Amino acid sequence: MQSRFATRILSTAVARVISSTVLAFAILLSPALARAASTQSIATSEGLSATEFSRLVRDFSEEGGYFNSDNFTSNETAYLTVVEKLRQLGGTGGAYVGVGPEQNFTYIAKVRPRIAFIIDIRRQAIIQHLMYKAVFHLAPDRVQFLSKLFSRPLTKDAPKTTSTTGEMLTYFTRTPGDEKIYDSNLAAIRKAIEQDFQFPLSKEDQTSLEYVYKSFYKEGLEISFRLDGNWNGGYFPSLKDLILETDLAGKQGNFLASNEDYDFVRGMHARNLIVPVVGDFGGKKALVAVGDYLKKSGMTVTAFYTSNVEQYLFESGSFSAFANNVRKFPLNERSLFIRSVSARYSHPAQLPGHRSTTLLQQISVFLKEFDAGKYGSYRDMMMSNYITGQK
């Protein structure tokens, strides 16, 4: 009797184990949950697969739009004046969203996010970021990064990884580019984008890639922001100037100023966690897709670097659409805007020697003031509840 009873118990237990196992496999094989698991994968240190990275770039992107410049570099000399305040306000971790060129890498190095999205209306800007990603991929340290970026050879007197930023820039300023190195590097960059990152380049994309990379080869460290017609009027800072900029304490803070910051940004790229997207801030797709993705991933936007894009959104009549896109982001009280205001607006927080002013603002405050109708103009917005590095 006891034997039969024990047998029944054993049979029941086995059946439960089998049922649980089948249920577990059914859950794992469920397409919807599998997609959710894929979305959650960015929370791990492993990052995204190349296939998923390429899919996000393509699926989140809109059609490219027009802007009247080649943003080869930033033109914001005051970009480091808020980094310490950003840290004090808890602007670390989470998700980073930005716009424009290499300045994003410095903010990423300071924020130390889990993932970053760089959104720009011009498709050329996204191709440039894929170029940067390939250069990081090919360059294990800062010296080799500059060598690859400008197609400059590394001779016996080349700087070391322990060299100062000034020593590195001096070497690459006096060392001319090499056309054979340029040709070889361009081929390696194209191969990395298409094979390693699994991102297909159209003929137009390849032309854009060659145009951007050749500009870095030809101009070297003197490359700068350039308006249509190849004009910068001697007005915009060179990449060399921007790398040498300092924070309010007089300390260099560009991502190329320290091995630690360079390694962090390179590591983010290696794990495919810096995702460039073609998009209009006031559009219906890119920002919405990023916000939805972050919500599903359980992440909050820590910092959103908008440069001075909001100025153009007011001019185009799409500022309200932008504000409503921001509302769809996962946010908290520590979520911050990083903005730049042009010198032509004579902002009271502008510092001597800078052509622009960099400001912070709590995104929650922004949304409350927008809802209250306080932003009738760009000037209204950039003068309201701003935070400077000095405060």
- Residue 18 reports pLDDT greater than 60: no
Dihedral, CA of residue 64, residue 65, residue 66 and residue 67, to nearest 10:
-90
Q: What is the pTM of this model?
A: 0.88
- Asked if pLDDT for residue 42 goes beyond 80, the answer is no
Write the secondary structure of the chain as one string of H (helix), E (strand) and C (coil).
Answer: CHHHHHHHHHHHHHHHHHHHHHHHHHHHHCHHHHHHHHHHHHHCCCCCCHHHHHHHHHHHCCCCCCCCEECCCCCCCCCCCCHHHHHHCCCCCCEEEECCCCHHHHHHHHHCCCEEEEEECCHHHHHHHHHHHHHHHHCCCHHHHHHHHHCCCCCCCCCCCCCCHHHHHHHHHHCCCCHHHHHHHHHHHHHHHHHHCCCCCCHHHHHHHHHHHHHHHHHHHHCECEECCCECCCCCCEHHHHHCCECCCCCECCCCCCHHHHHHHHHHHHCCCEEEEECCCCCCCHHHHHHHHHHHCCCCEEEEEEECHHHHHHHHCCHHHHHHHHHCCCCCCCCEEEEEEEHHHCCCCCCCCCCEEEEEEEHHHHHHHHHCCCCCCHHHHHCCCCECCCC
Residue 298 pLDDT more than 90? Answer: yes
Measured CA to CA, the distance from residue 258 to residue 271 in angstroms comes to 20
Q: Please, what's the b/e burial string for 62-76 (b: 16 or more CB within 10 A of its CB; e: otherwise)?
A: bebeeeeebbbbbbb
Rounded to whole angstroms, how far apart are CA atoms 3 and 377? Answer: 85
**How large is the average pLDDT for residues 181-208?**
98
Q: List the structure tokens of 35.
A: 């997609």
> Residues 263-288: pLDDT tens digits?
999 999 999 999 999 999 999 999 99
In the predicted model, is pLDDT for residue 391 greater than 80?
Answer: no
251, burial (CB in 10 Å: exposed 0-12, middle 13-18, buried 19+)? exposed
Is the pLDDT at 27 greater than 60, yes or no? no
Q: Is the pLDDT of residue 39 over 90?
A: no
Residues 304-357 have pLDDT tens digits of: 999 999 999 999 999 999 999 999 999 999 999 999 999 888 899 999 999 899
pLDDT the model gives residue 227: 65
More confident residue, 11 or 192: 192
pLDDT for 146 beyond 60: yes
Contact 270, 48 (CB under 8 A): no
